[in-house]
Amino acid sequence: MASFSFFGTIPSSPTKASVFSLPVSVTTLPSFPRRRATRVSVSANSKKDQDRTASRRENPSTFSSKYAPNVPRSGADILVEALERQGVDVVFAYPGGASMEIHQALTRSNTIRNVLPRHEQGGIFAAEGYARSSGKPGICIATSGPGAMNLVSGLADALFDSVPLIAITGQVPRRMIGTMAFQETPVVEVTRTITKHNYLVMEVDDIPRIVREAFFLATSVRPGPVLIDVPKDVQQQFAIPNWEQPMRLPLYMSTMPKPPKVSHLEQILRLVSESKRPVLYVGGGCLNSSEELRRFVELTGIPVASTFMGLGSYPCDDEEFSLQMLGMHGTVYANYAVEYSDLLLAFGVRFDDRVTGKLEAFASRAKIVHIDIDSTEIGKNKTPHVSVCCDVQLALQGMNEVLENRRDVLDFGEWRCELNEQRLKFPLRYKTFGEEIPPQYAIQLLDELTDGKAIITTGVGQHQMWAAQFYRFKKPRQWLSSGGLGAMGFGLPAAMGAAIANPGAVVVDIDGDGSFIMNIQELATIRVENLPVKVLLINNQHLGMVLQWEDHFYAANRADSFLGDPANPEAVFPDMLLFAASCGIPAARVTRREDLREAIQTMLDTPGPFLLDVVCPHQDHVLPLIPSGGTFKDIIV
């Protein structure tokens, strides 16, 4: 019998097979009215795509308004109906004085469910989890002043990682704007540089057009966050909405990327046929092109290295072609492939500093082909030899079509064998500490017990990098993590949003004790909503990544990286099991390696939410490591 400690009561429920065919007993969740949401197109490269994306509103013949056409209604009711017409069925909204009218209108909606977070930051991270895991825009709502300011980290995170998001904020009445009224902040000015676009609604008649534009902007070309700030008196004003108002985005529409030219694609394929050591470098821009990417690899035999954001776009468990993650904490063999390649096919990437290190040394032997939908990314950090500004999906479709009609066979078997030698020589590995639990082993076990099919969220730190290294993602949108911004506290609320967007899926937040406590209040939301979110807490009582950098770059001088109780450093502090128990969530702690498998299985088998506190040693480091600004020659293994 395993000796891990258990806290809380496991609810009983009828047994139902899980999506992984594990003997998991699943709680029957309460049913909520759901509407089939409109599928989001994240690019609009043809006239047909533009028309479809621009007309996301409900077809008048199918959308049934609860109001007669000529009946006036409040601005808040117009706003809520505008969301309904965009296919929204879930919002994450926290009320306050300047947004109460919107919440009152939400109570009158028959199709939109509000999930009440316990903090606005939890709400926007949940909206991100919803969007990242589904591809549909996430919606969050907050009041003015401090409520709006609590959305700032989430907006920046969504901009960095190209997440479609609509943030709606209440604002003080128009006559009070600029007077430093109670709970007034200029949220439009504050967020101007961390949103794709934002609006201050000054006329109630503009609401239908602004909402339509916001969804179009958030989901087209390179997705991102859009903020709509609505003064309270506009919410209260009555009007008859005009749902047929055209969008006013002439400049944006004029710069929409066009389909790639066949001549450009043939030029890329000529470079492929001339190369001996090509590598695919794929990022978040390939998440919607997974099928096309797999087919391209099948046709060419080119190995694939993924960015942190691109994990899952190509199956990580395909050891013949997948090199897994490259960059600062990427595999040796992925970084070796880029270092010695003669052709780098950079698809849907931005040459981020955590990937490239020293820019001039990155892929210095290779010709570079860069395909990206965002023209501002091409040549920004690294000048390519060939560039195409278009949707990666269209480019891959076009190249696959050309390849399927060609008779010559590409053979990069010798190059792949060389890379496989590096894989065997420098596999991902970790230290062991007697009976203590290596955090990497916990993630490997989770991968095994879920067959690599769970949706994984994380906080930020060592646990995040270990999850990226040791969980073998099979599909896109399984991996939800704050990449560009690196926002601690992301994991738990993101898992909440993912569970709502994917009912029936297994959702696991692999978190660190430092990140987890930053939004721990969302345990209350998870319990109230009865969401089957599992938390695998990698608890080493430290800010692990800070400690690691102290060891490597600051002569191991400790500066506030210990999170435990200095008066009792051997104790597990704070006691996360008590936090879980206070919200009625079953929890357990495991400290010995031999008990871990049964503990993880118990977590997966338990209906509803569950917290597993995995106590780990703090001495291990995330390796490999290429120091910031370094090169492949500086790699630490």
Show the tokens assigned to 442. 């916990």
Q: Is 386 annotated as a binding residue?
A: yes
Catalytic residue among 183, 245, 267, 601: 183
Name the helix (H) or strand (E) containing 479. Answer: strand 479-480
Q: Please confirm, yes or no, whether 183 is among the known catalytic residues.
A: yes
Catalytic residue among 488, 545, 576, 603: 545
- Nearest CA among 445, 182, 470, 134 for reference residue 288: 134
Q: Is 196 annotated as a binding residue?
A: no
* Cβ atoms of residues 207 and 228 within 8 Å: no
Q: Is 335 annotated as a binding residue?
A: yes
Q: Is 384 annotated as a binding residue?
A: yes
Query: Dihedrals φ, ψ of 609, to 5°?
Result: -75, 160
Q: Is 616 annotated as a binding residue?
A: no
Q: Is 374 annotated as a binding residue?
A: yes
Q: Is 385 annotated as a binding residue?
A: yes
Catalytic residue among 16, 63, 66, 182: 182
Q: Is 424 annotated as a binding residue?
A: no
- Nearest CA among 192, 105, 87 for reference residue 141: 105
Q: Is 15 annotated as a binding residue?
A: no
The CA angle 86-89-90, to the nearest 5 degrees, is: 120
Helices 596-605 and 439-449 pack at an angle, to 10 degrees, of 50
- Nearest CA among 587, 636, 579 for reference residue 608: 587
Q: Is 381 annotated as a binding residue?
A: yes
Amino acid at 585: I
Q: Please confirm, yes or no, whether 267 is among the known catalytic residues.
A: no
Name the helix (H) or strand (E) containing 323. Answer: strand 322-325
Q: Is 451 annotated as a binding residue?
A: no
Q: Is 497 annotated as a binding residue?
A: no
Catalytic residue among 58, 81, 84, 120: 120
Task: Name the DSSP letter for residue 505.
Answer: S
Q: Is 342 annotated as a binding residue?
A: yes
Q: Is 340 annotated as a binding residue?
A: yes
* Cβ atoms of residues 240 and 180 within 8 Å: no
Contacts of 250 (CB under 8 A, 6+ apart): none
Q: Is 605 annotated as a binding residue?
A: no
Q: Tell me the β-bridge partners of 369.
A: 345, 386
- Most distant CA pair in the chain: distance in Å? 74
Collapsed DSSP state (helix, strand, coil) of residue 590 = strand
Catalytic residue among 86, 184, 216, 232: 232
* Cβ atoms of residues 126 and 493 within 8 Å: yes
Helices 207-219 and 47-54 pack at an angle, to 10 degrees, of 130
Q: Is 373 annotated as a binding residue?
A: yes
Tokens 């040459």 identify what position? Answer: 351
Q: Is 348 annotated as a binding residue?
A: yes
Q: Is 251 annotated as a binding residue?
A: no
Q: Is 602 annotated as a binding residue?
A: no
CA 425, CA 466: separation in Å to the nearest integer? Answer: 20
Q: Is 110 annotated as a binding residue?
A: no
Q: Please confirm, yes or no, whether 136 is among the known catalytic residues.
A: no
- Binding site residue list for FAD: 222, 329-350, 372-391
- Binding site residue list for thiamine diphosphate: 120
- Binding site residue list: 120, 222, 329-350, 372-391, 513, 540
Catalytic residues: 120, 182-183, 232, 545
